[in-house]
Structure 1
Amino acid sequence: MAKDNSSPQAGIVVVSEADCQRLVGRKEAFDAVEAVFGAMARNDAYNFPVIREAIGHADALYGFKSGFDRAGLVLGLKSGGYWPGNMDKGLTNHQSTVFLFDPDTGQLKALVGGNYLTAIRTAASSSVSIAHLARKDARVLGMIGAGHQAQFQLRAAAEQRNFERVVAWNPHPDMLPKLAAVAEEIGLPFDAVSAEDVGAQADVIITITSAFEPLLMADWIKPGTHIACMGTDTKGKQEVDAALLARATVFTDELAQSVSIGEAQHAVSAGLISDADITPIGAVINGDHAGRNSEDEITLFDGTGVGLQDLAVADVAARAAASDGAPMVSL
């Protein structure tokens, strides 16, 4: 009989949503996302094509994001999507789970709750862009959007510069008080203003909505502003004027997604910019691109949300949980 050289299944780590919140903070998420962006730019990590479909039930979008980080030896996928009616049921609209596999054997090694991690890794992504691209003297943080994710964005962004106040606009003004409460908690004055005034006053702007039309126009943005566009992750979505990308120096998490499902899709299709005008943020992280070249330059980060971000933070959670004695199951 031939000898079986396969490794035995040691057990699958199960990491709950509550444990993810306990084990992965903003610092851990920032470090993981920054590292994987750098690995992507070195071609040490790559994402697989995204699957995202309307399922024809509950108005839901469902899909898969997956990839392999050869540098970090992280292999897996995130399965989940967007259920717009969940808030009325006391649930978050985004629902997902991350599956991690042993890259040496293909065996499942961890099941990790993805809802909190999706929120904190998205905030980490914009936070990484602010750390590397925003002016050092940025003092006013602008927010376009005030939903659940905006609260994560505000907390993470506030740690990257010495902001003195927050200005915000949301299509539904009744949602702004929750964002104002977060600003108050972290000690920043908060003003609800028009979208145009966000552009006129802010040194850093984060857009985090589900819009399908521009909410922020190119003419509203002052020189030297850094914009992190974080809401556009599907074909047809749009948060900012396409002409703004023509004015700005554009960076992204992944070029293929930026031009197809990200904010850059509209500027590219209109012929305002081309693929060659977009730089992976990992090139700045690795020191291969200068990033911001002048105090007056407008920089824009197109954060489309890549599977490797999810895998990076899920791996942090799984490793921490295993060290912490998390429950393990066998198939």
Structure 2
Amino acid sequence: MKRDELAVFGADEVRELLTYPDCIAIVREAMMALSRGETRQLLRTMIHMGEGRTFAQMPGALSDEGMFGAKMISVFAQADNPGVRRHRGLVTMFEPEEGRPVCVADAEEITHIRTAAATAVATAELARKDAGVLLLLGTGGQVHSHLAALPLVRDFTRILIWGRLSERAAAVVEAWQDRLPVEVAGDAEAACAHADVICTLTGARTPILLGDWVRPGTHVNVVGSSGPGPVEIDNALVARSRYIADSRASALDAAAEFLVAREAGVVTDAHIVGEIGEVLLGRIAGRENDEQITLYKSLGHAVQDLAAAAHIHAKHQARNTR
């Protein structure tokens, strides 16, 4: 590739160059850098363009001397299935010496992979070491990326898939049954009685997971809602949990479930124990005992997308200079 050439990575190239093990390591380092204050990023801005239509921008820099850029993404409900939202867009990267744009990458595929990688990082730190049963709530694209990522950090003996439409849960099971011990969960509440790790991966506007259902010692990853409004869990679960955010500033601005619980007077800002990067750095404890319910709120951050895109670009360059 010529020095001034702009590299373009479509979805296929992103999948080839950004493996789940690599992305887990990338996100782990990125979240520690965020909590150390090494990265630069603004809170995401969102332009609402009508019901089920949002355009979001997420700018940032990996460090003062590092790569920088932005993710621009549309989040649109699908006409044939309003409960499913596609995240389509671009991650654009600039090099730090002359400020040249060096690559553009498919944001939807990066988002799929890095979101699941972030969940895996949190699960590795916060779930009990003996966690053996995984419950995934949701049947969209993120269920597949989480099935690829989470078994890399825990040895699950059962993986339960729940969806509002049982046929969609069955389709997920059919796609993965030759690789993982997956099965359909007919009832979410009943499945929670067995689960050691629960992930909410939906576009639900009202809670699909209640605090009364979750047994002591469970780790919960709340992933689906990325802005104020839709909530996947109720106030009781927020209050019962040891609440860890990917970014404190972002959680106070956009973590829907936390904001609703705070508005109801159930919790205060102090309920956010800290950031996952602080847990990784050893600054705060993650899980304190085997009876505690731990919760990781994933909002997603520019630093994760930019670090993933920088890795894709570096790997591409290395291949072309051999």
* TM-score in terms of structure 2 length: 0.92
Alignment equivalent of 2:108, drawn from 111, 115, 132: 115
| Alignment match, 2:72 | 79
Alignment equivalent of 1:149, drawn from 119, 142, 154: 142
Q: CA deviation at 1:53?
A: 1.9
Alignment equivalent of 2:277, drawn from 282, 286, 293: 282
Amino acid at match of 2:315: A
CA deviation vs aligned residue, 1:94-138 (integer Å, no higher than 9, x gap): 211100112333321211121211100000011111000000100
Unaligned runs of 5+ in 1: 1-7, 327-331
Answering whether residue 217 of structure 2 is matched by residue 224 of structure 1, we say yes
After the TM superposition, which parts of structure 1 deviate over 6 Å for at least 4 consecutive aligned residues? Answer: none
| Alignment match, 2:308 | 313
Answer whether contact 2:69 2:93 (CA < 8 A) is retained. Answer: yes
Answering whether residue 36 of structure 2 is matched by residue 42 of structure 1, we say yes
Q: Residue 104 of structure 1 aligns to a residue in which SS?
A: coil
Amino acid at match of 1:248: S
Answer whether contact 1:167 1:193 (CA < 8 A) is retained. Answer: no
Q: Distance in 1 between matches of 2:239 and 2:64?
A: 34
Answer whether contact 1:183 1:190 (CA < 8 A) is retained. Answer: no
Answer whether contact 1:87 1:93 (CA < 8 A) is retained. Answer: no
CA deviation vs aligned residue, 1:192-247 (integer Å, no higher than 9, x gap): 22111222110000000011111111110000000000011021110001111111
Answer whether contact 2:40 2:64 (CA < 8 A) is retained. Answer: no
| Alignment match, 2:24 | 30
Q: Distance in 1 between matches of 2:61 and 2:234?
A: 34
Q: CA deviation at 1:87?
A: 6.9
Which is further off, 73-82 or 212-221? Answer: 73-82
Q: CA deviation at 1:71?
A: 7.3
| Alignment match, 1:296 | 291
Answer whether contact 1:168 1:198 (CA < 8 A) is retained. Answer: no
Q: Residue 153 of structure 2 aligns to a residue in which SS?
A: coil
| Number of residues of Structure 1 aligned to a counterpart in Structure 2 | 316
Q: Distance in 1 between matches of 2:63 and 2:298?
A: 22
Q: CA deviation at 1:59?
A: 4.3
Question: Alpha carbons of 1:277 and 1:180: their partners in 2 closer, same or farther (altered >3 Å)?
Answer: same
Q: CA deviation at 1:9?
A: 6.7
Answer whether contact 2:21 2:152 (CA < 8 A) is retained. Answer: no
| Alignment match, 1:329 | none
Answering whether residue 49 of structure 2 is matched by residue 55 of structure 1, we say yes
| Alignment match, 2:62 | 69
Q: Distance in 2 between matches of 1:70 and 1:80?
A: 23
Q: Distance in 2 between matches of 1:143 and 1:72?
A: 39
Answer whether contact 1:168 1:195 (CA < 8 A) is retained. Answer: no
Amino acid at match of 1:32: I
Amino acid at match of 2:306: L
CA deviation vs aligned residue, 1:150-181 (integer Å, no higher than 9, x gap): 11112211221111111222122221123213
Amino acid at match of 1:225: T
C-alpha root-mean-square deviation of aligned residues, in Å?
2.1
Amino acid at match of 1:285: L
Unaligned runs of 5+ in 2: none
Matches within 5 A, 1:86-235: 93-235=86-228
Amino acid at match of 1:125: A
Amino acid at match of 1:318: H
Question: Alpha carbons of 1:59 and 1:303: their partners in 2 closer, same or farther (altered >3 Å)?
Answer: closer
Question: Alpha carbons of 1:70 and 1:324: their partners in 2 closer, same or farther (altered >3 Å)?
Answer: same
Answer whether contact 2:65 2:96 (CA < 8 A) is retained. Answer: no
Amino acid at match of 1:254: S
Q: CA deviation at 1:318?
A: 1.1
| Alignment match, 1:17 | 11
Alignment equivalent of 1:236, drawn from 210, 229, 239: 229
